[in-house]
Amino acid sequence: MRTPIVALALALSLAPLASFAADKPDWAFPVTDKVQPPSKDDPAALRTGPDSPLKLTRAQIDDLFGPPDWRPEMHPPMPQVVAHGRAPNVRACGSCHLPTGNGHDESAYVAGLPAAYFIRQMQDFKSGARKGSGSMTAIGKDISDEEIKSAADYFASVTPRKWVRVVETDTVPKTYIAGGNKRLAHPDGGSEPIGQRIIEIPEDENLVLNRDPLKGFVAYVPKGALGKGEALSNGGDGKTVACTICHGPGLTGLADIPPLAGRTPNYLVRQLFMIQSGERAGPSSPLMAQVVAKLSVEDMLDLAAYAASLTP
Ligand code: HEC
Ligand code: HEC
d(CA 168, CA 188): 23
By the 8 A CB rule, do 310 and 261 touch? yes
24 close to 296: Cβ distance less than 8 angstroms = no
Q: Is 96 in the pocket of ligand 1 (CB under 6 A)?
A: yes
pLDDT at 21: 52
Ligand 1 pocket member 130 (CB < 6 A): no
User: Cα–Cα distances in Å, from 76 out to 42, 69, 71, 147?
Assistant: 33, 12, 11, 17
Are the C-beta atoms of residues 168 and 110 closer than 8 Å to each other? no
Question: With a 6 A CB cut-off, is 135 part of the ligand 1 pocket?
Answer: yes
Q: Whose CA is nearest to atom 1 of ligand 2?
A: 287
**C-alpha to C-alpha distance for 192 and 199, rounded to whole angstroms:** 11
Check whether 9 has a pLDDT greater than 50. Answer: no
Q: What is the structure's pLDDT at 43?
A: 86
What's CA 198's distance to the chain center, in Å?
A: 13
Question: What integer best gives the mean pLDDT of the chain?
Answer: 93
Residue 276: pLDDT band (50, 70, 90) is very high
List, chain by chain if needed, residues with CB within 6 Å of any ligand 2 atom: 117, 120, 232-233, 240-241, 243, 245-247, 257-258, 260, 268, 271-272, 282, 284-285, 287-288, 291, 303
* Residue 5 CB contacts under 8 Å (≥ 6 apart), including other chains: none
Mutate to test the pocket of ligand 2, among 113, 120, 257, 303 (most ligand atoms within 8 A of CB): 257
List the domains of the chain with CATH numbers. 2-34+162-309 (1.10.760.10), 58-157 (1.10.760.10)
Give residue-wise pLDDT tens across range 60-111.
Answer: 999 999 999 999 999 999 999 999 999 999 999 999 999 999 999 999 999 9
Whole-structure pTM value: 0.94
Give the residue with greater pLDDT, 5 vs 182. Answer: 182
User: What atom of ligand 2 comes closest to residue 236's alpha carbon?
Assistant: 38
7 C-alpha to ligand 1 centroid (Å): 30
Q: How far is the CA of 165 from the centre of ligand 2 (A)?
A: 22
Which residue's CA lies nearest to atom 33 of ligand 1? 93
The pLDDT of 186-191, averaged and rounded, is 96
Q: Is the pLDDT of residue 50 over 50?
A: yes
Taking only the tens place, the pLDDT of each residue in 204-236 is 999 999 999 999 999 999 999 999 999 999 999
Residue 101: what residue type? G
The C-alpha angle with vertex 18 and arms to 220 and 257, in degrees rounded to 5, equals 60
Binning pLDDT at 50, 70 and 90, where does residue 261 land? very high
% of the chain exceeding 70 in pLDDT = 93
Among 217, 220, 196, 210, which residue's Cα sits nearest to residue 262? 217
Q: Which band of pLDDT confidence, cut at 50, 70 and 90, is reported for residue 47?
A: very high
Atom of ligand 1 nearest to the CA of 271: 18
259 touches 312 (CB < 8 A): yes
